Structure 1
Amino acid sequence: MSHEAVKAVQAAVSADPENVPLRLALADLLVASGRPAEAVTEAAKVLARDPGNAQALALVTGGVGDGPTASAPTPEAAPAETVSPETASSEAAAPQEPAADTPPDFDWHHAEQQLDAAVPPPFVDPRQAETGHLRPGGPPQAEGVAPLEPGLPRISFADVGGLDDVKQRLNESFIQPMRHAEIAKAFGKSLRGGLLLYGAPGCGKTYMARAVAGELGAGFMSLVMTDVVDSYRGQTEKNIHSVFQEARHNDGPTVLFLDEIDALALKRSGLTGPASWLRGSVNQLLLEMDSMQGNNDGLYVLAATNHPWDLDEAVLRPGRLDRAVLVSPPDATARAAILRTHLAARPVAGIDLAALTQATEGFSGADLEHLTVTAAEKAMTESIAAGSVQPLTMHHLQLALAEVRPSTGEWMQSARNVVRFANDSGRYDDLRRYLSTREASGKSGQRKGWWS
């Protein structure tokens, strides 16, 4: 097969990446050119757009061993000819004819049964699934579910699955006031503020902060301890001031995100001995959030931490981070969206999302990603042993579930102690309600309501 022909079709695919027949034609050309790995890559891209495409499934599941298709013997190679993109597209769209030397009475159905080439659809139809039972998918009786489109760099609340209570609190506290500034001023609402997102690690606090900036159409600045801490006395305070000044001078509203704020705003009573120099950093942060010059309009400070109970009380007073919102582990809707997103980019078959969602109760978003990566590694190992790409199935996810455990358990135990002994002010009432709901539904294995 002419190398120039492959390059010509590749150029056509680049110009029209949504053209499935043209991409399949490119995959056939790559197989004929002795480049099966690249052909499988193109077939996987087809499956991302058309999960039930039989020709792409044949390529991905091992039909690339001896030629462009796995359904018929391939005739002897003819001399290479230059193929134009238009010709390749029309050939791909035309139905595939059996080879000339195939007997007219050849039993194709019997041959297909012998090869056992049936591959389940990428995702099981929920109407055919038995909720709560993990099992491999059956034959492709229903059309596969289309994968989610990849998110854009600027995201919004629509890109965040679940967490409706967090979205509502953020929307009321500052998104709507910033969108309708005149109405907000009439009610004495200033165009500034701060809010603390807290919860178990890996539950999407940083992702939610990016969504807030996307909802506002605002600039997004992120600050972590390594950005500002300096070995010279006084330089850390100058760095904090410089970051806030840059945020104030941005055109339009700006979200300044303080990730892991407990690294910058620990309780000053505990900063003694060698750590006493960090007191100046906490003081500077408090001054910047107050802004004595009154020029914080349009600047919203959004902070995140796993341990809000370690923060200095002055940081949490009204006018600074006066609102705290729990970002809990993803609910069922969010888990289904996260799992679909991570699985859609891989060759999958027979995935029962309903059963998988139920089996991952208590998993954080990071845990769900780790689960899919572990399952993908097992499918990859199996594919390497087989010499061809094998789809990721529920069997691989079952094996991964036996290894991956939710990482939120230790944080939940600490949270129970805080709710029981350190919630006199009611600051963590939303955490108490969340834990109470988990206990009432029997999801945590502890006695119901023992901390209340």
Structure 2
Amino acid sequence: MLDDAGLQALREAARLSPDNLPLRQHLAGQLLAKGYLGEAEAEYRAALVLAPKDAGIMTGLAEAFVRQSAYGAALAALEPLLAAPGYPPKVGVLAARALLGEGDTARAGYRYHEAISRDPSVGDADLAARLSAPPTPTYGAPALPGQPYAAATPPAGQAYGAPAHPSAPTPVDGATAEIERSRLNFADVAGMEAVKESLRVKLLLPIQQPDLFAAYGKRAGGGVLLYGPPGAGKTHLARAAAGELGASFVNVGLADILDMYIGSSERNLRATFELARRNRPCVLFFDEVDALAARRSDMRQAHTRQLVNQFLAELDGVDQNANEGVLVLAATNAPWYVDVAFRRPGRLDQPVFVPPPDPAARAAILRLLCRDKPLAEMDFDAVARVTDHFVGADLKGVVDRAVEVKLQQSISAGRPIPLSTPDLLAAAQSVRPTAVREWMATARNYVMHSNDSGAWDELMPWVKAKW
């Protein structure tokens, strides 16, 4: 119910003159400006029926979607505009916001910088900061050429190791990774019950029930190596583990660690661990960890081996309690390239296989992906049966493609048309599974011919099956 008299008058006028396009467009814009996002979306849809190719209406509808976190729908609405040469720069910024919401940082950055290069006035400082956070000054590194080296002394009145504000994460010199708070938990991860139970026992319960585990000399903290085919949900699972625990979450990318100057990568790694220790309990997540923990026997340069040595030293800690409350989760698609020293007890000694989803898990994933969309009666099991070898990322692609088609139909009809089972089945026919078969073929080579230590016995049932 609108509580604004002016908006109520506009809505009544639009009701009496349903074909008055300028009036409908003005009402939609006012609703959007005042935060009535659902009502704004409905008015833009109605206006789009009157003018299906109006760029302003499509842009307004896309903005309503973005502000409701319906990023896929926003991109579908913007697609005709982005395909035209010389599209308005504002459209590029809006597309960048939607792409960033979808997790596609690279394409978001391209759209944003291309847009502001044509019209700097459309720049969005918050969006720019999220796309490329400025690096934090490091010990011994000058902030600008010709200036003194950055001091290690904290600001006046602030003690070493004390956060600048009681509610803010503790800053650590040299750490470019950021503290997050995950809103996911294990209920948001479909299937993978054995994997979730393994993480509960190995990482979460020692923090949730410290007295019981202390009786057996088990301290909170430790490391787990998640491995499996691309797109199976390893990053999603790590975020859910942090949310399940209510812990801080640090997602460490390669750019946060690797540096062209000798010694800087090791310093960045040390600072990242220190950031986690100062904000414990904390889940420290390293994706593509094989790039930071590769086998030293394969390295020709001493300084690359030093980074692996530093990583091992940080996992061990300077004393037995250094990493208490720090849960290290590492993920890789190529566990056989990780240095064997990481599998020593106390490090990443607990490898956990994240398998491709079985039919029941695929149906559960589809239910989660579709839970916030208008639906007809659905048979997710039927879709799961025709999506063999699909991982979570592939299934998201199926749902996104079906939504795009349904959105176009809804725009033409002027009302939301529910998503149905045939829509998902049709989309599944046009989406090919990504890299599961190739990954399993590689895994088979290691399991069958390079498994003298028994490290990959867990994969044996999989590689001997239908793969």
- Give TM class, smaller chain: 0.5 to 0.7
Aligned amino acid, residue 7 of structure 2: K
How far off its partner does 1:331 sit?
Answer: 3.0
Change (3 A) 1:324 1:27: farther
How far off its partner does 1:327 sit?
Answer: 0.8
Contact 2:206 2:221 in 1 (8 A): no
Alpha-carbon distance between aligned partners in 1 of 2:371 and 2:13, rounded to the nearest angstrom: 22
> Which residue is equivalent to 2:308?
282
Give the number of the structure with larger relative contact order, counting CA–CA contacts within 8 Å between residues 6 or more apart: 1
> Which residue is equivalent to 1:424?
452
> Which residue is equivalent to 2:167?
none
> Which residue is equivalent to 2:188?
159
Match runs of 1:142-157 below 5 Å: 153-157=182-186
> Which residue is equivalent to 1:340?
367
> Which residue is equivalent to 2:219?
190
Change (3 A) 1:383 1:422: same
Matched, 1:221 2:250: yes
Other structure's SS at 1:318 match: coil
Change (3 A) 1:61 1:356: farther
How far off its partner does 1:375 sit?
Answer: 2.0
Deviation string, structure 1 residues 102-160 (Cα, Å, up to 9, x no partner) = xxxxxxxxxxxxxxxxxxxxxxxxxxxxxxxxxxxxxxxxxxxxxxxxxx952221221
Within the candidate set 375, 379, 382, 1:355 is matched to 382
Change (3 A) 1:331 1:389: same
Alpha-carbon distance between aligned partners in 2 of 1:343 and 1:288, rounded to the nearest angstrom: 41
> Which residue is equivalent to 1:262?
290
Contact 2:182 2:239 in 1 (8 A): no
Aligned amino acid, residue 406 of structure 2: A
Q: How many residues of Structure 1 are paired with residues of Structure 2 in the alignment?
A: 325
Contact 2:383 2:425 in 1 (8 A): no
Matched, 1:371 2:413: no
Alpha-carbon distance between aligned partners in 1 of 2:261 and 2:245, rounded to the nearest angstrom: 37
Q: Which moved more, 1:385-394 or 1:283-292?
A: 385-394
Contact 1:256 1:301 in 2 (8 A): yes
Change (3 A) 1:65 1:311: closer
Deviation string, structure 1 residues 339-358 (Cα, Å, up to 9, x no partner) = 23333444443532221122
Contact 1:30 1:38 in 2 (8 A): no
Change (3 A) 1:339 1:6: farther
Alpha-carbon distance between aligned partners in 1 of 2:364 and 2:12, rounded to the nearest angstrom: 32
The Cα RMSD (Å) is 3.8
Change (3 A) 1:63 1:248: closer
Alpha-carbon distance between aligned partners in 1 of 2:463 and 2:405, rounded to the nearest angstrom: 35
Match runs of 1:383-402 below 5 Å: 390-402=417-429
| Structure number with bigger Rg | 1
Matched, 1:415 2:443: yes
TM-score, L = length of structure 1: 0.63
Contact 1:332 1:358 in 2 (8 A): yes
Other structure's SS at 2:232 match: coil
How far off its partner does 1:205 sit?
Answer: 0.6
Contact 2:222 2:346 in 1 (8 A): yes
Alpha-carbon distance between aligned partners in 2 of 1:420 and 1:227, rounded to the nearest angstrom: 36
Question: Unaligned stretches of 5+ in structure 2?
Answer: 51-180
Question: Unaligned stretches of 5+ in structure 1?
Answer: 11-23, 47-55, 67-151, 447-452
Other structure's SS at 1:336 match: helix
Other structure's SS at 1:379 match: helix
Contact 2:293 2:339 in 1 (8 A): yes
Alpha-carbon distance between aligned partners in 2 of 1:237 and 1:64, rounded to the nearest angstrom: 55
Matched, 1:303 2:330: yes
Change (3 A) 1:376 1:286: same
How far off its partner does 1:387 sit?
Answer: 7.3
Matched, 1:253 2:290: no
Other structure's SS at 2:198 match: helix
Identity of aligned residues (%): 41
Contact 1:60 1:389 in 2 (8 A): no
Alpha-carbon distance between aligned partners in 1 of 2:283 and 2:210, rounded to the nearest angstrom: 16
Aligned amino acid, residue 418 of structure 1: Y
Matched, 1:202 2:231: yes
Matched, 1:329 2:377: no
Contact 2:376 2:419 in 1 (8 A): yes
Within the candidate set 259, 263, 268, 1:230 is matched to 259
